[in-house]
Structure 1
């Protein structure tokens, strides 16, 4: 009478045995190198973030992070590569706003925000507006007064739909004054144009602006962040000066849709460990990367809120 109980005992042990392979796979991740796609060329902000973060993640996870630069079409080619990747946890991108949000507003790429798994926000490089030190403009109030007086205050920017271009549009919207973006192929040309008085102002991300304007005529009148930024705490926000303008290049760790939750959780934990490493924080400061860790839920929510903001701006004044 006791013999029939043996199969029942065997069956009772079957479920944990079946579950073990999945647990082993999760525990073993990662077991080979991970690719980090950068949708821009080497040496830019996204590239610096990818290489800085990658070397520290390798120490935590025990596998190399291989940076792959895929520039072109304002970042769309690299973003395509991430969206099209196999969702196995071995291809991610260091992607940034506003392009991640604004490209689907401007045109019809083969992806949308719903095409991705957002792991974490990493670096928030806010927009700044700078003027020539001899301009007599010292703050947001005198900047707006000059724009109203001159009816067309020219500001160097880089590319339609770029962070710098959209920062000028948002400033114009908040100030009720006319600011005219003048497109230059890259920030160094905009810095030179400001120095030579070809334009009256220049828009940039703070980190890149600090790195490229050293020793040049460059006075930042405000930063488009929610609070002052640690790399330049002397620069007031536009918000504290009465203009509610916030925009920046938020770089994040992003993968294709469908990555297993246990993989994103493992990566999220690894990124938090890196952000707690004083050596990483010090290196980020030296390379002008304003760190801002946004965990998965907060990062995803931020991107969808940005989508709503830029769709509103597009509806009032399309930039393309």
Structure 2
């Protein structure tokens, strides 16, 4: 009796296993949607389109970028969380909506609502000044800020953004008193330095490369452990005696929770292969980025560590969205 019952149970559930395997084998069945939680034309959008084009070639389906900008990236992440968990929707995100915004305001998701696929790229943050400021080194900047507290200004892309958090971390570690001037986005924040409205900013490497090349901006330091390949002569904050001033934008691919394991594996493998291709690595370098992949667990752990770091800076600097 028990054998017959067990055999009947196996017969009943066998189609479920078979259909699951078939689903993974047949995936993808339609175009994929790659959500970008920021406006078109920015660095995240550019990286997403490069990855999407390469993945489409290997998967045999188009990868369509869907820009869902707003609320510091949280709108796009929320849209990803609420997408069907069938492997046809995923997103490329920076740390802000995962590590920053949840420490500043209530968001409709948590890290547990996501599948972490892999890191995609790293863009180091750099501390830059207007060439007319007369500042030529990080040591000189710190000395000048300490000699005349709150007379120098720095710009950011807005309260709670990576440049804001990064510069407040720099201030905390050096004791330099520099006034924050928020702008609505990275472009106007950089323009403010170029025009002389403010003296400095901390920003992703990518958008300042042309201005560093023509001499309008002076790059004082890379906020990281390793020098940027695009600026090999610029020292790191670690080299300059500031081992805790580490700030970079790490882009990664996430998906809704609950994607079937076989589909998730195929999606991740297609992304990793695209990112690690020699062609993609070269294109990333030209964009000021460094290709970087990881395991899902490594990516999740990194975002948790970033969240903990950002929470400490936000608390000590009393940063709010007001």
Q: TM-score, normalised by structure 1?
A: 0.90
Given the superposition, is the C-alpha separation of residues 99 and 143 from structure 1 closer, same or farther in structure 2, using an over 3 Å criterion? Answer: farther
Alignment CA distance shift 1:195-1:9 (3 Å): closer
Residues in 1 aligned to 2:120 and 2:258: alpha-carbon distance in whole angstroms: 21
Q: CA deviation at 1:258?
A: 1.7
Structure 2 counterpart of 1:209: 208
Aligned partners of 2:165 and 2:313 also within 8 Å: no
**Distance change >3 Å, CA 182–CA 17, structure 1 → 2:** closer
Correspondence list, 1:4-19, <5 A: 19=17
Aligned residue number for residue 295 of structure 1: 295
Task: Give the whole-Å Cα distance in 1 for the aligned partners of 2:7 and 2:120.
Answer: 50
1:253 aligns to what SS in structure 2? strand
Change (3 A) 1:57 1:67: same
Aligned counterpart in structure 2 of residue 44 of structure 1, from 42, 47, 57: 42
Aligned partner of 1:62 among 60, 63, 73: 60
Counterpart residue number, 1:312: 312
Q: Distance in 2 between matches of 1:281 and 1:93?
A: 20
**1:142 equivalent in alignment to 2:140:** yes
* Match in the other structure for 2:153: 154
Q: CA deviation at 1:16?
A: 6.7
Structure 2 unaligned spans of 5+ = 1-5
Deviation at 1:14, TM superposition (A): 8.7
Question: Which consecutive unaligned segments of at least 5 residues does structure 1 have?
Answer: 1-7
SS of 1:239 mapped into structure 2? coil
Match of 2:265 in 1: 265
| Displacement after TM superposition at 1:65 (Å) | 0.6
| In 2: Cα distance, 1:68 partner to 1:27 partner | 26
Shift of 1:12: 8.9
Partners of 1:95 and 1:11 lie apart in 2 by: 43
After superposition, the CA RMSD in angstroms is 2.5
Q: Which residue of 1 aligns with 2:79?
A: 81
CA displacement at 1:225 relative to structure 2? 1.9
Contact map agreement 1:194 1:202 (CA 8 A) in 2: yes
Length-normalised TM-score, structure 2: 0.90
Q: Could you say what secondary structure the match of 2:30 adopts?
A: coil
- Alpha-carbon distance, 1:70 to partner: 1.1
Number of residue pairs the alignment of both structures matches: 316
SS in 2 for 1:254: strand
| CA apart distance, 1:9 | 10
Deviations 1:227-261 (A, max 9, x none): 11223222211111111211122111111122222
* Residue 166 of structure 1: aligned partner: 165
Q: Which has the larger radius of gyration?
A: 1
Report the counterpart of residue 3 of structure 2 in structure 1.
none
In 1, are the aligned partners of 2:117 and 2:253 still within 8 Å (CA)? yes
Contact 2:49/2:65 (CA < 8 Å) preserved in 1?
Answer: yes
Q: What secondary structure does 2:254 align onto?
A: strand
Give the Cα separation in 1 of the matches to 2:59 and 2:88.
12
CA–CA separation in structure 1 for the residues paired with 2:8 and 2:106: 56
User: Does 1:116 find its partner at 2:122?
Assistant: no
1:198 aligns with 2:221: no
Q: Which residue of 2 aligns with 1:176?
A: 175
